[in-house]
Amino acid sequence: MRSICQQICRADKESKNEAVPQDIRSLLEFFPTCLEKHASSSNPIVLVLDSLDQLSDDDGGRELDWVPKELANNVYMILSTLPGAEYICFPKLQPVGGKSYTSPNDTKLAPTIKGIVHDLLDRVERLHGKVLVSQALTYIAASRNGLTEPELEDILSLDDVVLNDVYQYWTPPIRRLPPLLWIRIRSDIGDYLIERGADGARVINWYHRQFIETARERLPRKRASSCWDSLKYERLFPRKMVRWCEEVFCGQEWK
């Protein structure tokens, strides 16, 4: 909470040197005042606090007593936590205000995080094709440390299930996945992927474990295994790629 207050003060040039209390009792009083003081119609404050279930138990962090009961004008908070009785903050998390510019009749939000992820992936599949999207996202989730984009394109280009779906109505001169298809998919889910260094390369992987678990759930173990077998024994699949896939995919738990 002190870090949040410090960032808010630094963002305001007139108050960047404002002293922020260190003890929890003073912070509890300072926090709502800080929000109200620095928020305005021209400079609203939007706080996005994810994974409240990972907060420390110290000073009642998961009890959420530090969350203001009412928010000042031009202050908005978006809070999230894993569901379940074992997470103290879940039953305590209540709407704390804010406005929506979308009619409630046009808004549908699943009651769980996984449900929201499923809805997102359903939408992406409708836009770009169920087979291509499900295979691509599952390969990412199944990999040990993530995949480079050329690796992902190579794997999808060796997957007959994907290619048969992509090339339903014509036969290409080169039977390979067009790179533009993955670029379009990534443009819709880029906010939920992370790029980092692993195994000497820049790889992409899911940003949050909820996406990994949901992606694996969407492709049953039997189908995932058959996809791997079809790649492993494809005659055109170079032996070095077989060894690479064994290193990347084998040993992964599949739920």
To 5 degrees, how large is the angle CA 136–CA 199–CA 193? Answer: 40
Render pLDDT for 131-142 as a digit per residue (tens, 0 to 9). 899 888 888 887
Say how far apart CA 155 and CA 27 lie, in whole Å: 52
* Number of Cα atoms under 13 Å in the Cβ half of residue 190: 7
pLDDT range class, residue 44, cuts 50, 70, 90: very high
- Work out whether strand 75-79 and strand 45-49 pair parallel, antiparallel, or are unpaired: parallel
Flag whether pLDDT at 45 surpasses 90.
Answer: yes
> In 3D, which of 11, 57, 2, 58 has the Cα closest to residue 30?
2
pLDDT of 247 reads: 52
- Residue for token pair 């379009």: 184
Q: Where are the beta strands (DSSP E) in 50-98?
A: 75-79
- For residue 254, pLDDT over 70 is answered with no
Contact 38, 9 (CB under 8 A): yes
Q: What is the pTM of this model?
A: 0.51
Q: Count Cα atoms within 13 angstroms, Cβ side, for 183.
A: 3
What percent of the chain has a predicted confidence (pLDDT) above 90?
8
Q: Using CA atoms, how far apart are residues 52 and 96, in angstroms rounded to an integer?
A: 15
pLDDT tens-digit readout, 168-226 = 888 888 889 988 899 999 888 888 888 888 878 888 888 888 888 888 777 655 454 55
| Cα separations in angstroms, 175 against 26, 182, 210 | 66, 16, 34
Measure the CA–CA gap between 132 and 194, rounded to whole angstroms: 20
